[in-house]
Amino acid sequence: MTDMHAEGGGPRQPPSDALPSEGLARSGQRRQLSPEEAAQMEEKIRKVELAISLVLRIGVVVSVAVISVGLGLMFAHHGSYVSVGGHFSYSKLTSRSTPFPHTFSSLGHAIGRGEGRGIVVLGVLILILTPVLRVAVGVLSFVYEKDPPMTIVTLYVLAVLIGSFFLAGV
C-alpha cells in the first residue's frame, strides 16, 4: 500500500479489506479515501474548526466584558484609586497581604456584595475555563468525525484537566 500519490492516479481504487474500520486500519497507514469521501472529510473538519473557533470567541468576549465591568466597579467604589494627585499607591493592592477572593465561597460573597474585585476574578475564571471548554468541544468533534483513537486521546486530556481542578481542592 504505497499509494501516497494515488489521488492523481487511477480513479477510485477498490477499497481494501479495511473498509469497515476506517479509523482503525492499522497496517501503518490509513485507507486511501475516495475524492468524495475526502471532500466530505474536509467539510466535517472545517465545521469542527469553525465550532471550536466560535466557542473560543464567545468565551474570550464574555470574559473581557466581565473583567471590564469589574474594573469599572472597582474604580467607581474607590475614589482614591483614581485621584490624580492622590497618595494611594497601587503597591497596597499588589502585596502579599492584599485581600482578594481565592476560594469559591469568598468569591460568591464578593460578587453578592457587588464588589468589583470579585467580578474581575469571575471574569478571569471564565478565561481559565476556555481551554477546558475547547478540549470538551474537541471530544465531541472527534466523536462526530468517527475517529476512535483521537476521541480517546482527547477524553484523556479532558479527564486530566478536570481532575487537576479537583486535585487543587477547588
Residues in 43-62 that interact with another protein by CB under 8 A: 49-50, 52-53, 56-57, 59-60
* Inter-residue contact 111 to 119 (CB < 8 Å): yes
Minimum distance between the CB of residue 120 and another protein, rounded to whole angstroms?
4
In order, the DSSP letters of 30-91 are: PPPPPHHHHHHHHHHHHHHHHHHHHHHHHHHHHHHHHHHHHHHHHHHH-GGGT-TT----GG
- Pick from 152, 108, 154: which is nearest to 131 by CA? 154
Q: Does 64 bind another protein (CB under 8 A)?
A: yes
Minimum distance between the CB of residue 87 and another protein, rounded to whole angstroms?
9
State the Cα–Cα distance between residues 142 and 149, nearest whole angstrom. Answer: 9
Residues in 110-139 that interact with another protein by CB under 8 A: 116-118, 120-121, 123-125, 127-132, 134-135, 138
Q: Does 19 bind another protein (CB under 8 A)?
A: no
* Inter-residue contact 105 to 31 (CB < 8 Å): no
Minimum distance between the CB of residue 155 and another protein, rounded to whole angstroms?
10
Q: Which of 21, 103, 109, 144 binds another protein (CB under 8 A)?
A: 103
Residues in 67-86 that interact with another protein by CB under 8 A: 67-68, 70-71, 74-75, 78, 80-84, 86
Cβ atoms within 10 Å of 151's Cβ, excluding its own: 19
11/168 with CB nearer another protein = 168
Q: Which of 12, 76, 88, 144 binds another protein (CB under 8 A)?
A: 88
